[in-house]
Chain A
Amino acid sequence: MLYKDLLQETYLAIVANKARSALTILGIVIGIGSVIAMVSIGQGAKQSITDRIEESGANLLTVSPGQQRSFGPISSGQGSAETLTMEDVESIKTITDVEEVSPESSSRYQITASGNNTNASIYGVYPEYEVVKEVTLNSGMFIASSQVSSSAKVAVLGATLSEDLFGEEVDPVGQSVKINGITFKVIGLLSETGSGMNSTDDAALIPLTVLQRYLSGSETLSSISVKVADQDAMDQVQQNITDALLINHDIASEDDADFSVRSSMEMVEMASSISSTLTMLLGSIAAISLIVGGIGIMNMMLTSVTERTREIGLRKAIGAKSSDINKQFLAESIMLTFIGGIVGIIGGWLASYLITKFSGTATSVTYYSVALAFGVSVVIGVVFGYYPARRASRLNPIDALRYE
């Protein structure tokens, strides 16, 4: 049987039952489409998290208080202990290959302006924060060294926070806000960073000295961010920081350390392992609908074989080989899934575009997931078409011709 004839016969068979073919294809479209859309959500989450962390610097080390336990989001106690001090910051500054050190302390406080009232993260920072975290300003300027040393009551607002307090597209620079009842002058507005780890959209930055003196009343730090000059020296610097802080804290063994030092790469790994699990979960839920679509194909093909029993008998009587009949039915199911696959890919792509547009959730359709979905749809055509096709090809022409 020539491919051109096979194609034409397949086309005629599918067109002969337009409604049934369309519904069967729809099953595959939904399956493939949801796999692509779901995986794109997972991939998008992964992408945006790793982008954010990488953006904030691949050569960034973060020192956090609390015991270093296993990786993972649930290691308790981390960040709550009060063990990091400015003394540690000074020790870290002396280590070779350390470029910038940014001590931070944060807490949530009530913030008000022009009658609006909200609860926000307040970060106490040094000017190094701007360089180390690579934040950019939309307007105004960042906190200066002199403002830290003089404990000036100035604040730099995150984009969302500014919107909440002053309204959309209003430049807050020059205005004043009250944090916990204390008046601060707004000197800068940060660019939008989007949701994710280390987002400053919903935060206000003030000099660390001000936070310590007027708000928290505590000298301890909630983290120290260290920018390393040379990425190759990361491991060495990480070790040196650990050693220096162990001496500062008078601790003999690394296992008993009351702080942890992590590189941004480790954070990326952690985050991507979480989002891989998410991708897998979403993908496998969608895969179930793909299997259901495949069963729809099989159901339609079996009905079709039964309906066309006489036709199969006739074709065989006229001289069609069993393999010809087998090919015809297999081609039909592959064609159905092929069409469903293509439409499903377009639909899934469109769905993930709409999800991003209307919900703001980041999505990412990778070529890998498209290729996989397409491959799977053709495999489904073969797998679920195999049994009906074999049944058709094995029909005995005499019985088939007599079938009513």
Chain B
Amino acid sequence: MIELKKIYKKYQVGDAESQILKNINLKIEEGEFTAIMGPSGSGKTTMMNILGMLDTPTSGQYIFNGKNISSLSGDELAEIRLKNIGFIFQSFNLLKRSTVMRNVIMPFIYAEKPNGNAEREKKAAMALKKVGLGQEKLWDHLSNQLSGGQMQRVAIARALINNPDVLLADEPTGNLDSKSGYEIMNLFIDLNKQGHTVVMITHSEEIAQLAHRVIQIKDGEIIKDYRN
């Protein structure tokens, strides 16, 4: 489903040129749960940004669902992000002064469908139930009134709302205490079992062991790629 071929990424900082990614070749199949590990500055976030089409490689090919996306325009990439990719961030990135419900239906605003409020809220309710936020009275709360674990669940519900092909999570448990981190991890495992493809960056060996596949990156290169 996702295929990276000979991906290189260079950054030009003044006269100095730094090579962030070197010759990344990677294939992720549908339904896989992949953990990406590596020390700070190893290039794992850059790789995630490229996977999420927020960033483009300097050279190489990225094939998503059989389509080479290297030549697509910014708006075409936005369209794929909207429909096929769900992002989950370490810092949740919710709209703090909006309600839980409004945060979850936000992608619909840009997808333009469904356009009816009733249908939008029905779909959002389904996503919220899926992430364990079934209590309807929570949905009208402002998102900054929630606990960290709840916030991340809202963010996951938002990522699920357009039924994406892949969930990309950048250290989703990094800002949580160990108990809620563990719960969120279990949620990802559940979602994966329901058929969602998950790619996750993590620092924790323990969490990585819960994934099917672990990819280790160092200095911009894949040094290990194994299945549990």
Once bound together, how far apart are the Cα atoms of A313 and B95, in whole Å?
12
User: Contact: B95 with A317, CB < 8 Å?
Assistant: no
User: Contact: B54 with A317, CB < 8 Å?
Assistant: yes
Residue B52 lies at the interface, judged by CB distance under 8 Å to chain A: yes
Q: Chain A: which residue is nearest B102 at the CB level?
A: A12
User: Contact: A318 with B112, CB < 8 Å?
Assistant: no
Residue B33 lies at the interface, judged by CB distance under 8 Å to chain A: no
Stretch at the interface among A142-150, A258-266, A319-327: A319-327
A121 CB to closest chain B CB (Å) equals 70
Q: Chain A: which residue is nearest B155 at the CB level?
A: A314
Once bound together, how far apart are the Cα atoms of A113 and B106, in whole Å?
83
Once bound together, how far apart are the Cα atoms of A316 and B87, in whole Å?
11
A369 CB to closest chain B CB (Å) equals 39
Instruction: Give every chain B residue within 8 A of A315 (Cβ-Cβ).
Output: 106, 110
Once bound together, how far apart are the Cα atoms of A322 and B76, in whole Å?
11
User: Contact: A319 with B54, CB < 8 Å?
Assistant: no
User: Contact: A321 with B54, CB < 8 Å?
Assistant: no
Residue B89 lies at the interface, judged by CB distance under 8 Å to chain A: yes
Q: Chain A: which residue is nearest B108 at the CB level?
A: A5
Q: Chain A: which residue is nearest B94 at the CB level?
A: A314
Once bound together, how far apart are the Cα atoms of A129 and B52, in whole Å?
91
Instruction: Give every chain B residue within 8 A of A314 (Cβ-Cβ).
Output: 89, 93, 95
Binary CB contact string for chain A from 301 to 321 against chain B (1 if under 8 A, 0 otherwise): 000000000110111111111
Q: Chain B: which residue is nearest A320 at the CB level?
A: B110
Residue A97 lies at the interface, judged by CB distance under 8 Å to chain B: no
Binary CB contact string for chain B from 102 to 130 against chain A (1 if under 8 A, 0 otherwise): 00001101111001000000000000000
Residue B205 lies at the interface, judged by CB distance under 8 Å to chain A: no
Question: A2-B115, A401-B93 given as contacts; is B107 within 8 A of A318 (CB)?
Answer: yes
Stretch at the interface among B14-22, B78-86, B133-141, B210-218: B78-86
Question: A12-B98, A310-B93, A311-B95 given as contacts; is B110 within 8 A of A321 (CB)?
Answer: yes
User: Contact: A321 with B78, CB < 8 Å?
Assistant: yes
Once bound together, how far apart are the Cα atoms of A131 and B110, in whole Å?
75
Number of interface residues of B (CB under 8 A): 26
Question: A318-B106, A319-B79 given as contacts; is B98 within 8 A of A2 (CB)?
Answer: no
User: Contact: B93 with A320, CB < 8 Å?
Assistant: no
Instruction: Give every chain A residue within 8 A of B98 (Cβ-Cβ).
Output: 12
Residue B49 lies at the interface, judged by CB distance under 8 Å to chain A: yes
Most buried by B among A310, A320, A322: A320
User: Contact: B97 with A320, CB < 8 Å?
Assistant: no
Interface residues of B in 57-95 (CB under 8 A from A): 74-75, 78-79, 81-83, 87, 89, 93, 95
User: Contact: B83 with A398, CB < 8 Å?
Assistant: no
Q: Which of A2, A311, A320, A397 contacts B54 (CB 8 A)?
A: A397
Once bound together, how far apart are the Cα atoms of A249 and B115, in whole Å?
88
User: Contact: A1 with B110, CB < 8 Å?
Assistant: yes
Question: A318-B106, A401-B89 given as contacts; is B78 within 8 A of A2 (CB)?
Answer: no
Instruction: Give every chain A residue within 8 A of B107 (Cβ-Cβ).
Output: 318-319
Once bound together, how far apart are the Cα atoms of A401 and B81, in whole Å?
15
User: Contact: B49 with A2, CB < 8 Å?
Assistant: no
Residue A16 lies at the interface, judged by CB distance under 8 Å to chain B: yes
Q: Which of B82, B93, B95 contacts A319 (CB 8 A)?
A: B82
B135 CB to closest chain A CB (Å) equals 24
Q: Chain B: which residue is nearest A311 at the CB level?
A: B95
User: Contact: A316 with B89, CB < 8 Å?
Assistant: no
Residue A9 lies at the interface, judged by CB distance under 8 Å to chain B: yes
Q: Chain A: which residue is nearest B83 at the CB level?
A: A319
Interface residues of A in 344-390 (CB under 8 A from B): none
Q: Chain A: which residue is nearest B168 at the CB level?
A: A317
Instruction: Give every chain A residue within 8 A of B95 (Cβ-Cβ).
Output: 311, 314
User: Contact: A318 with B49, CB < 8 Å?
Assistant: no
Once bound together, how far apart are the Cα atoms of A398 and B87, in whole Å?
12
Instruction: Give every chain A residue within 8 A of B79 (Cβ-Cβ).
Output: 319, 321
Binary CB contact string for chain A from 211 to 244 against chain B (1 if under 8 A, 0 otherwise): 0000000000000000000000000000000000
User: Contact: A1 with B109, CB < 8 Å?
Assistant: yes
Residue B55 lies at the interface, judged by CB distance under 8 Å to chain A: yes
Binary CB contact string for chain B from 153 to 188 against chain A (1 if under 8 A, 0 otherwise): 000001000100000000000000000000000000
Besides A315-B106, A316-B78, 8 new A-B residue pairs in contact (Cβ under 8 A), listed by A number: A2-B115, A314-B95, A317-B52, A318-B106, A319-B81, A321-B110, A397-B54, A401-B89
- The 6 closest A-B CB pairs, nearest first, are A319-B82, A319-B81, A5-B109, A314-B93, A321-B78, A320-B110
30 A-B pairs with C-beta separation under 8 A: A2-B115, A4-B115, A12-B98, A313-B93, A314-B89, A317-B54, A317-B81, A317-B87, A318-B81, A318-B87, A318-B107, A318-B110, A319-B78, A319-B79, A319-B81, A319-B83, A319-B107, A319-B110, A321-B74, A321-B75, A321-B78, A321-B79, A322-B74, A322-B78, A323-B75, A324-B110, A397-B54, A398-B54, A401-B89, A401-B93
Residues in chain A within 8 A of chain B (CB atoms):
1-2, 4-5, 9, 12, 16, 310-311, 313-324, 397-398, 401
